[in-house]
Structure formats: C-alpha cells, structure tokens
Structure 1
Amino acid sequence: MAAPDVRKSLLEGGGLSLDRMPMLSIIFDRLATACADNLKHLAVSPIFYSLSSVETEAFGDLLEPYEANAVAGIFYSPQWDSHILVGLDRDFVFTMVEVLLGADGSEPPVEDARNFSSIELRIAQMTLEQVGKALESAFALVSETTLKLERTETRMDFAIIGRRSNKAVAAKFLLQALNRGGEMFLIIPQSVLNPMRQSLSKVLTGESTVRDPRWERQIAAEVKKTEVTLRAVLEERTLTLGEIADLRIGQVLPLDATPKSRVKLEGKDQPLFWCEVGQANGAYVLRIDEVINQEKEFMDAVLAR
C-alpha cells in the first residue's frame, strides 16, 4: 500500500489559496467577457459586465446574504461529477428585464421585496442557460466539461449543493445598464477545483498577435467562396407524431399563408432576412424586405413560453 501524500493532504485540508491559482481569475475574466458579448446582441442599451471580486468562504456563509433575494441555478457537470451554483440577485434580474424589454432607464428601479413574476423567472432561466455555455467555454482552458442546468431556486435553503461548512470559491460579477445594475455570483466547491489545482497554477501565454496581411487576404478570399445553402420558409406548422403517421400521398395540408405573406430566409438554420415572394420570367423570386431582428425574436420566444 502506497504511503499517503502528506503534502497534498495538508494543502487540501488548509483550503484553496487563490494566489496559487492565477488561471482562475483569467477564467472568470473570460466568463465576464463572454456574458457581455452575448447580451450585446439582445439589448439596445449599453451593458457593462465585469468581475468585481473572488473570495473563499464556507458555502453556507456565501449564500446567506442572498436569501429570498436572488434566483439560483444549479448546474451539474458529469465530467466533474459535481454541482456548481450560479445566482442572479434581485437587482440583476430586474435590470435584465428592463434592458430586454426596451426600457430607457427613465422609470425608477423596482425596490419592493415581492416575489419574482413568471416572466422574470423565465428571463432569469434563459440568462442562466447562456451563462452555463459561457462557463463551459471559459473553463476549456484547463478542463473540458459540459454544464447542465438542473433546476432554479429562489430559496437559498434549497440551493445547497453540499455541506454548509464546506469551503468554496465565490466569484462576483457586476452588471451595469440603464444607470443601475445588479450582481451575479458563481460558487464552485473546493472539491471541484482540487483536481485542477495544478492546471490552475499555470498561466497560459497567448499566441503571437503578429498578423500576416497576405495570409489574411487569402483566408478572406477563400471564406467568401464558401457555399451556403439558403432555405425559404413560407410557413411552419406543429404536428403531433400521430398526425404525421396518418399522412398519406395525395393528402392536402391547408396553410394560413397567403401570396402576401412574408417568407423567412434561413441559412444553416439561422434566420437571416424577411422576404416578399413574387414572380419574374416564369419563376418565383424573393425580394429581401428587412433583416430579422434577433432581439425581437428572442423576446417573442420568451413571452410565448
């Protein structure tokens, strides 16, 4: 039987030292940048997203200030076989709702301690799902992982993912928009970071930023030659599996679309333009009417749930 590694046991028993894990701050900075980039495509007003602090403390102590004042998302990583927690405080959720619904900041911020509405909880959940994807990308520097949002909680007593006395690292991020803001917090148990301690202790150097203009021109020219298949969608319908199984050759499917209905032009399942359909020289043609507004499509999907 091999002798136990006394040095390793002492390090793990003494808790995590943030000074010994410089890569952790880089990962959190990348997470803040990715979250800000995602929000820029959904909001008209300027949004600022920044890392404000990183600390280590007992799990229960980290959650206590947010009791009845936040929405917490519990994520599970099969690669780590563990859970992590991402929370959005009340001000963060209210600010996000105003930004996505097109507010200009003229109305006073919501300050009453009421329960979250269904729309606020839906927007919080969609925000948490985006944060999970950004966190996967940020941690790819040291560990490949997938994060699945298992559930959301508004009571921190139900958001416990381990013993309250267990040590964890908490990163806090500040959201600023419309002359107000809020806080997002990320809590990672020490047991998750311990196996990555060696990777987190090394700072990865970036690659050379010197660019070759000839290579850039060649890449740009080849990219423009890439063939992309476009698809014009006149109408989409939802059918049950039973209805599809009952379809027969020669059966007529009625559509709500008319000759004046706009057609959605898609590429690689991504909506691009709204078009008007017409005829020219005996063939159908499309005239591009407007670019599809991704923000409006996003909010329509949220409100339709």
Structure 2
Amino acid sequence: MNMQSGSPNGSPTDIRNLLLDAAGLSLDKLPMLNVIFDRMATQCAESLRQLVASQAYYSLSDVESGRIGDVLDSYEGMAVVGVFHSPEWDSHAIVGFDRDFIFTMVEVLFGADGSEPPVDDERSFSNIEMRIAQALFEQMAKALQSAFSLVSKATFKFQRHETRMDFAVIGRRNNLAICAKFLLQAINRGGEMFVLIPQGALTPLRQQLASTTAGESAPSDPVWSKHIRGEVQRTEVRLRAVLEQREITLGEAAALEVGQILTLQATPRSRVKLESTEEGLFWCSLGQAEGAYVLRIEDAVDQAQEFLDDILPR
C-alpha cells in the first residue's frame, strides 16, 4: 500500500500523519509534555523572581486536550492572549493570562504586600495592564523556547495580543490542541496562565515526547534543581541545646511548685546535645564568651545508636 499522496503544492504528504492528526494525540503516551511544561513553570518563576521582592510561584496544574475554539471560548471576556509564531514548526501557539493573573502581577510588580483586598472588577484592561502583559509575553517566548529545547529546536516570535478570543486565530477552531494550565501564587492571591498548542505542531515530535517511559527518570533540569536547593537552604529551622534530660512520673510533675529548685546532674563539663525538631544533630561543649553562653560543636550524634537507645529497654 502506498502511504504517500500528493499535496496541493506538489510535495508528498505522509497519510499516517494525517490519520494521527485526525485521531489526536494521547497525552498518557507523551510523558515529556509534563516535563516540558514543568520546566516552563520553573523558567517563568525564575524570571519573575528577578523583578519582584515578594515570593511568587508558578506551578503546572493540568495538561489536557481539547478543541481550540472550546478552550478559547472558556476564557472569553476574562483573559488576554498572546499569539506566537514558530517558524521551525510552521505553526502558531497561544499564551493567555486570566484577569486574576494580570491583576496579581500588576500588584506584585509595583510592590504590593497583599494587605489591600484583591481587585474584583469586570472592567477592560488598562493601558498599563496591557503593557505589562505584552512584556510578560516576551518572557513567555523565551520560556517556551527553553522548555521545548528538550525535544525540539524551536523559536517563538510574539506577534500580537488579543482580548477577543474569536480574534485569536491559530487554526481552525475545531482542530485539536494541547492546553497546559499554570497557577500563579503571590501575596496570598493568584491567577491562571495557559498555553495552547495545536496538536498538528506536536505530531512530528510524538516520538521525542514519548521518550520518557514508565520507570525512567525525567531529564534533570538544572534550573529547577537550583531553585529547589535554594528554597531548602532558605528554610528556617529551630535549634535547641539540651543540657540534661530526665524522666519523672506524672505525680511528680503535678507536685512541682513555683520557686522549687531542681538539682541537675550535669556540670559545666557535661556535653550538650544540639537538636532540631527533636532530632539530635551534634554533641557540643558549653562555654562563655563576652558574657554569653556559647557552644562548640565536637561530634555528630550517632543516629543509629540513638535509635537503638530509644527502642531497647534500659
């Protein structure tokens, strides 16, 4: 059977691609899409963090398939979209921001702390809001290119923005598309961003998008790894220095009185255990410097021995 047919311009067209386009892509067989859009969320968060003082987070909430017209109609009157062209794909893509996203982004960029109530207004977007949206669309072009570089060398050129969804034309409205939805969280509020890509643009990449199968780890993303490492290192923990511990009965505890003196077995030479969240970290020696008590770390706590001491009878 001949799988090639002539196209109107004289070039051969693979009928298999036409059949795949008609049937649509199966998202559960394209695990790399989630990896790509996760990477895009990280890229957006990193770019935004350089512009604002408050914490702001992007997170991928869903990747779904649908008709272009149906997706756009669901945002009619409540979003602004940017239309992008990818010459390598010979196709277009859409990035959209809903009203809450735009209002939150404006407040974050102008230094709001979330103390004011969120904007709840059905008005049209202002000139400032549209200019901010256009600046964000330029960043989205870079984020898309970086994210899809895992499977394809593609550039995305921002062409125009639209607030009327019926003007956001990137193909027939009944064509299938992949829609990725992201949540923006900042100053105790947020909004939604979405990316809409026709399935016809992704069909030639289906083998690369299916390369990560069950049981295989996704490619390491250095930007995301750096972000996680930075967030972990900034996490605050509480340290506690324990000079002595003893067990008493409930009756003895009930008999304690204000002013009563408890005699400790510890001396200035006793080792002090440094703990965090009730987990022993280090053994320290106690001293003084400039009128304050100080600790000098000497040894790490043997976690295995600590565990045995806790479970074995004394």
Same fold (TM > 0.5): yes
Counterpart position of 2:2: 2
> What secondary structure is seen at the aligned counterpart in 2 of 1:141?
coil
**1:196 is matched with which residue?**
205
1:87 to 96, 113, 135: 96
Q: Is residue 106 from structure 1 mapped to residue 115 from structure 2 by the alignment? A: yes
Is 1:122 the equivalent of 2:123? no
2:72 is equivalent to residue 63 of structure 1: yes
Counterpart of 2:172 in structure 1 is 163
Question: How far, CA to CA, are the matches of 2:23 and 2:125 in structure 1?
Answer: 39
> Counterpart amino acid of 2:59?
S
Specify every segment of 5 or more residues in structure 2 that has no aligned partner in the other structure, as ranges. 5-13, 223-314
Q: Name the CA shift for 1:171/1:206 in 2 (closer, same or farther; >3 Å).
A: closer
Q: Distance in 2 between matches of 1:78 and 1:133?
A: 15
1:10–1:131 CA distance, 2 compared to 1 (3 A): same
Measured against aligned partners, the alpha-carbon deviations of 1:93-117 in whole angstroms (never above 9, x if no partner) come to 0000000000011111111100111
1:252 aligned residue:
none
| 2:55 corresponds to 1:46 | yes
CA RMSD of aligned residues (A): 1.8
Q: Which residue of 1 aligns with 2:37?
A: 28
- Residue-by-residue CA offset, 1:106-159 (whole Å, 9 max, x unaligned): 111111100111110011111111011011011011110111100001111111
Deviations 1:11-46 (A, max 9, x none): 332111001111111000000000001011111111
SS where residue 108 of structure 1 aligns?
A: coil
Task: Kindly provide the amino acid, as one letter, of the partner of residue 37 in structure 1.
Answer: E
CA contact (8 A) 2:17 2:203 kept: no
Q: Report 1:1-305 matches (<5 A).
A: 2-4=2-4, 9-203=18-212, 206=219
Q: 1:9 to 1:163 in 2, by over 3 A?
A: closer
**TM-score of the pair, normalised by structure 1:** 0.65
- Higher mean C-alpha deviation, range 177-186 or range 12-21: 12-21
Question: Contact conserved, 2:79 with 2:97, CA < 8 A, in 1?
Answer: yes
Maintained 8 Å contact 2:58/2:183:
yes
Q: Distance in 2 between matches of 1:168 and 1:58?
A: 6
Write the distance in 1 (CA, Å) between the matches of 2:75 and 2:218. 37
Q: Distance in 2 between matches of 1:17 and 1:197?
A: 10
Who wins on radius of gyration, i.e. which is larger?
2
SS at match of 2:124: coil
